[in-house]
């Protein structure tokens, strides 16, 4: 059979070649966008008098019928039609007859696929934003619950200063808020309509690309037809955003994995989000968190795969570009599922404040506060820092905390020490005192939560 896409009536391709070149097995995911784009194109052709009003209506109605067939699961996708565009157009022509063959007037699959993919990427990116907002809401809820729960804040994985669990959770919430902002910004560039670029050079038909763009809720139209059909920056941008979301999720998962280790014991994993071991009866493994960390590598792979596909491409459309969709679809699945998993896991996870509090007594987390105590009373900070260091040495020797050192010893270091130093060494006071902008103090936490809820 001569191929639908072949003007020269090229005869049937080798079955292996057909299998190798087809994209319909996966690009059918874009059917809604393809049909919406074709509908807008048909209405534009009629408006411009390139086809009659009646023909335009027949095409739009036919496309609706095709859409209904696909959604009802009765549409027959055929590999011999290569991609989703040809599948839909050939079925349309079966349904409406000869007029179906007018749909592609003034259009190429090159601008068609670029339009479909832009609409699809934008739709998915908007869905990621919704999922991000849900996750941010969950983090804010859990933070509100645990504003007064303290745990050791770490740098270099070593005990540093006491922080509120809320502060730790909100750190992630702000990463995810940046991710959502980034997606919203990228959306401006994603939603630029390339339709009207035709194959590469524009067209002599009096098309109205602005009309098509407005019909589809796009943000504007292309400026250069060659760029319009060969550009996939929009997909790269979205994929970068997704890869960065995965990076943030992966770091969060790493914290959860560490906290779930019995040496920490800061969290109890919900049964629904953990698994046992087939050999070790005591095990409760953080598989969901581990897989999310693992899938982050896969997300980077998808992003870099598209980078590599694009780097050597000459102008303009090259069939290599077909490789954009599978990677995007895979990444979309990864990031969408991961965001859902993360929100579920955080909603259900049990925090163990007693274990966190117990951990505060190890690691001299109030050493900075000891130094600050002296600084406030007039000692230059560098000297105060040394004095506090000496106190840490002594506490380590005695096997106690700084708050357990006798006042006599402290006064031996500096006469500035008074009875009230023990208040300054109290962990909750130390954390509560950090009301600097964005700090871990309770008022700061409230402000952060309010910002995230806005």
| Dihedral, 384, 389, 391, 396 alpha carbons, nearest 10 | 170
- Would you state the structure tokens that stand for residue 22, as one six-digit string? 């087809």
Instruction: Using the rule CB under 6 A, give the single segment among 41-49, 109-117, 124-132, 181-189 that binds ligand ARG.
Output: 109-117
110 makes contact with ligand ARG (CB under 6 A): yes
- Tell me if residue 248 is catalytic: no
Q: Which of 81, 91, 107, 109 binds ligand ARG (CB under 6 A)?
A: 109
CB within 8 Å of 404: residues ≥ 6 apart: 395, 398
- Report in angstroms how near the CB of residue 198 gets to ligand ARG at its nearest: 11
- Report in angstroms how near the CB of residue 110 gets to ligand ARG at its nearest: 5
List the catalytic residue out of 156, 204, 263, 436: 156
- Tell me if residue 225 is catalytic: no
Instruction: Using the rule CB under 6 A, give the single segment among 131-139, 234-242, 313-321, 388-396 that binds ligand ARG.
Output: 313-321
From residue 2 to residue 21, the character string flagging contacts with ligand ARG as x (rule: CB under 6 A) and all else as - is --------------------
Whose Cβ is closer to ligand ARG: residue 6's or residue 52's?
6
The number of residues that bind ligand ARG (CB under 6 A) is 10
**Interior angle at CA 337, CA 333 and CA 342, nearest 5:** 150
116 makes contact with ligand ARG (CB under 6 A): no
Q: Which of 99, 113, 119, 169 binds ligand ARG (CB under 6 A)?
A: 113
CB within 8 Å of 386: residues ≥ 6 apart: none
- Report in angstroms how near the CB of residue 214 gets to ligand ARG at its nearest: 24
Beta strand pairing call for 150-155 and 158-164: antiparallel
DSSP states along 359-426: HHTTTTTTHHHHHHHHHHTT--HHHHHHHHHHHHHHHHHHTS-GGGS-HHHHHHH-TT--TTHHHHT-
- Report in angstroms how near the CB of residue 2 gets to ligand ARG at its nearest: 16
Whose Cβ is closer to ligand ARG: residue 319's or residue 397's?
319
Site for ligand ARG in 25-64 (CB under 6 A): 27
- Report in angstroms how near the CB of residue 430 gets to ligand ARG at its nearest: 59
Rg (CA), the chain: 30
83 makes contact with ligand ARG (CB under 6 A): yes
Q: Which residues pair with 158 in a beta bridge?
A: 155
Instruction: Sort 196 into a burial class: Cβ within 10 Å, 0-12 / 13-18 / 19+.
Output: buried
**Interior angle at CA 191, CA 78 and CA 343, nearest 5:** 85
Query: What DSSP state is assigned to residue 272?
Result: G
From residue 314 to residue 343, the character string flagging contacts with ligand ARG as x (rule: CB under 6 A) and all else as - is ---x-x-xx---------------------
- Report in angstroms how near the CB of residue 46 gets to ligand ARG at its nearest: 25
List the catalytic residue out of 85, 90, 277, 385: 277
- Report in angstroms how near the CB of residue 317 gets to ligand ARG at its nearest: 6
Distance CA 247, CA 243 (A): 6
Whose Cβ is closer to ligand ARG: residue 143's or residue 306's?
306
Whose Cβ is closer to ligand ARG: residue 90's or residue 440's?
90
Distance CA 223, CA 138 (A): 42
| Dihedral, 142, 129, 35, 190 alpha carbons, nearest 10 | -170
Active site residues: 156, 277
Give contact residues for ligand ARG (rule: CB under 6 A). Answer: 23, 27, 83, 109-110, 113, 317, 319, 321-322
């Amino acid at each position: 059979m001569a191929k639908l896409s072949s003007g020269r009536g090229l005869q049937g391709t080798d079955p292996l070649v057909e299998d190798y070149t087809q994209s319909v097995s996966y690009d059918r995911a874009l059917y809604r966008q393809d049909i919406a784009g074709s509908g807008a194109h048909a209405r534009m052709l009629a408006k411009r008098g390139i086809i009659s009003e009646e023909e335009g209506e027949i095409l739009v109605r036919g496309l609706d019928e095709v859409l209904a067939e696909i959604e009802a699961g009765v549409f027959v996708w055929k590999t011999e039609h290569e991609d989703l565009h040809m599948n839909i157009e050939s079925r349309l022509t079966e349904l409406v007859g000869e007029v179906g063959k007018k749909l592609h007037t003034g259009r190429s699959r090159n601008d068609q696929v670029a339009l479909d993919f832009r609409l699809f990427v934008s739709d998915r990116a908007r869905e990621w934003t919704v999922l991000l907002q849900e996750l941010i809401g969950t983090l804010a809820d859990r933070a509100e619950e645990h504003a007064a729960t303290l745990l050791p804040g770490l740098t270099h994985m070593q005990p540093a200063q006491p922080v509120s669990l809320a502060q730790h959770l909100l750190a992630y919430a702000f990463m995810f808020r940046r991710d959502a902002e980034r997606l919203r910004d990228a959306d401006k560039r994603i939603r630029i309509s390339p339709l009207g670029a035709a194959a590469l050079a524009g067209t002599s038909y009096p098309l109205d690309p602005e009309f098509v763009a407005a019909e589809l809720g796009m943000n504007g139209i292309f400026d250069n037809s060659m760029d319009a059909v060969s550009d996939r920056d929009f997909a790269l941008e979205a994929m970068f955003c997704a890869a960065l979301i995965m990076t943030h999720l992966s770091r969060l998962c790493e914290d959860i994995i560490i906290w779930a280790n019995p040496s920490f014991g800061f969290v109890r994993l919900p049964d629904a989000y953990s698994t046992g071991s087939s050999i070790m009866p005591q095990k409760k493994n953080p598989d969901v968190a581990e897989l999310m960390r693992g899938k982050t590598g896969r997300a980077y792979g998808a992003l870099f795969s598209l980078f590599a596909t694009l780097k050597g491409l000459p102008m303009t459309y090259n069939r290599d570009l077909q490789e954009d969709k599978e990677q995007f679809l895979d990444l979309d699945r990864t990031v969408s599922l991961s965001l859902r998993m993360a929100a579920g896991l955080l909603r259900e996870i049990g925090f163990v404040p007693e274990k966190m509090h117990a951990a505060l007594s190890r690691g001299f987390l109030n050493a900075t506060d000891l130094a600050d105590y002296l600084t406030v009373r007039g000692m230059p900070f560098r000297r105060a820092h040394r004095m506090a260091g000496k106190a840490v040495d002594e506490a380590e020797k005695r096997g106690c905390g700084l708050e357990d050192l006798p006042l006599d010893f402290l006064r031996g270091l500096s006469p500035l020490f008074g009875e009230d130093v023990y208040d300054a060494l109290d962990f909750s006071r130390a954390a509560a005192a950090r009301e600097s902008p964005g700090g871990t103090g309770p008022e700061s936490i409230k402000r952060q939560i309010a910002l995230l809820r806005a």
